[in-house]
A = this chain, B = another copy of it.
Amino acid sequence: MKFSTLIILSGLFLTVSATVSAQRKDSKGPAQHRIVMQFNDPDSVSQTRTLLQVQNVRKIWPDAQIEVVCLGGGLDLLMTKNSKASNLVAEWSGKGVIFAACNNTMMNRKVTKEDLLPQAVVVPAAVIELATRQEEGWSYFRGGK
């Protein structure tokens, strides 16, 4: 009878594990939509377009997590003196959208944290950030034009 009890407990444990695992998988589906956007474009039209794409997602999926990763010429979106969409960055940041600045681009272009909009979050490398998010189950999108 001791054995039987052990087996029942073990069975219960496996069932619980399976359920937890299933829920984790479902969290990638309808429950929580997560999109990471790569943004490289240097022009101001693309800046506005990317913010429009953010808006388009939230209109349909109000709770979607969105992160815009800016690198290369795309860093302009987050630079105080170059951004043509600073108001929209502030607005959407207030609604939980993450705006990440690639530190490698910053070093190459001699841009410091002080040159960025206050909403910008500095990440070590854009590629690493984009890959990490995908490893976590986020979907990829290339923002801008």
Chain A interface residue number, banded? 35 or more
Task: Determine the chain B residues whose CB is within 8 A of the CB of A134 once the complex forms.
Answer: 139-140
Task: Determine the chain B residues whose CB is within 8 A of the CB of A28 once the complex forms.
Answer: 135
Q: Residue on B with the closest CB to A13?
A: B15
Interface string of A130-145 (1 = CB under 8 A from B): 1100110001111001
Q: Looking at chain A's contact residues, is the secondary structure mostly helix, strand, loop, or mixed?
A: helix
B49 touches A125 (CB 8 A): no
Task: Determine the chain B residues whose CB is within 8 A of the CB of A33 once the complex forms.
Answer: 131, 135
Does A86 touch B at the CB level, under 8 Å?
A: no
- Interface-lining segment among A50-58, A92-100, A113-121: A50-58
Instruction: Using known A-B contacts A33-B131, A56-B104, A128-B56, determine if residue A145 contacts B7 with beta carbons closer than 8 Å.
Output: no
Give Cα distance in the complex from A38 to B8, angstroms: 51
* A-B residue pairs in contact (CB < 8 Å), sample of 29: A3-B8, A4-B7, A7-B7, A7-B8, A7-B11, A11-B14, A14-B14, A14-B18, A17-B18, A28-B135, A33-B131, A35-B131, A38-B141, A38-B142, A40-B145, A52-B104, A53-B127, A56-B125, A56-B127, A57-B125, A57-B128, A57-B131, A60-B124, A61-B128, A72-B145, A127-B141, A130-B141, A139-B140, A140-B140
The 5 closest A-B CB pairs, nearest first, are A131-B139, A134-B139, A56-B125, A3-B4, A10-B11
